[in-house]
Amino acid sequence: GIDALIFDVDGTLADTEEAHRVAFNLAFDRYGLGWSWSRTEYRGLLDVTGGKERITSYIQSLPIAPTDRRRLLELVPHLHREKTRFYSSMVNDGGIVLRDGVARLLEESLHAGRRLAIASTTSAVNVDALLQSTLGARGLEMFSVIACGDQVKQKKPAPDIYQLALRTLGLTADRAVAFEDSSNGLRSAVAAGLWTVITPTFWTEGSDFTSAGLVLPRLGDPEKPLSDEPGRQLQ
């Protein structure tokens, strides 16, 4: 049987990528770099997971002198810190909603005695902000394990983050199911031995999902936001 459900965050729990894109651009602006990532360009940039890694790979692709490149590479941690500030405040302001069916799946899985976990590339502060702003005060408590960001050396598509989640849950891969939206996420989960459900977004549709156990347009029907009301019934 299945003991746990392991969720990716960006793209899977919520379609956050537009907010990430805007936050990157605001950070570039703050540093007067004159860079602005369009939606089309950002779709391609998503091939590299992790914000710091994405900015680094972008700088590596610029046709500039080695000294300029070095100077820009030194800025990466600062740019990323600024980006995280912009992104997490957008999330805290309530600008992000859960994807259809997510809240219900989380609630019903807990009710059925399954544990919930997170395996995400993004920073812990972003994951915390998203869970609290979409699920309320209980958001963090619902998850037994939150594996994210720089807790592993190798980000997705490497299996490390899913392996960390499984290890912390104390489970082997056959006792859990993964939920993902991207081919990098799918590769990571499958490499960790997990059967994986894919719900693509605008940013990932058309990718190669052949190794997925199941590809669905969404995890369920649209629903009203969760209330903190005790005894709230799921329909």
Q: Tell me which residues touch ligand XBP (CB under 6 A).
A: 8-11, 20, 49-51, 83-84, 120-123, 126, 156, 182, 184-185
Shortest distance, position 38 Cβ to Mg ion, whole Å: 20
Contact code string over 144-183 relative to Mg ion, x by CB under 5 A:
-------------------------------------xx-
Q: Catalytic annotation on 15?
A: no
The token duo for 13 is: 């729990």
Distances (CA, A) of 141 to 23, 106, 117, 146, 229: 27, 12, 11, 10, 16
Among the options 8, 15, 29, 160, which is catalytic? Answer: 8
Decide if residue 10 touches Mg ion (CB under 5 A): yes
Q: In a 3-state reduction of DSSP, which class is residue 184?
A: helix
Compare residues 51 and 200 and give the one whose CB is closer to ligand XBP.
51
Question: Binders of Mg ion among 183-202, rule CB under 5 A?
Answer: 185
Compare residues 9 and 131 and give the one whose CB is closer to ligand XBP.
9
The token duo for 87 is: 């992104």
CB 24 within 8 A of CB 55: yes
Q: Which one of ligand XBP, Mg ion, none interacts with residue 121, CB within 5 to 8 A by kind? A: ligand XBP
Shortest distance, position 133 Cβ to ligand XBP, whole Å: 16
Residue nearest to ligand XBP (CB): 51
Q: Catalytic annotation on 8?
A: yes
CB 86 within 8 A of CB 126: no
Q: Among 4, 8, 103, 201, indicate the residue that binds Mg ion (CB under 5 A).
A: 8
Preceding amide of 230 cis, omega within 30: no
For CA atoms 38, 102, 211, 153, the dihedral sign is positive
Distances (CA, A) of 36 to 12, 20, 32, 40, 76: 25, 13, 11, 11, 16
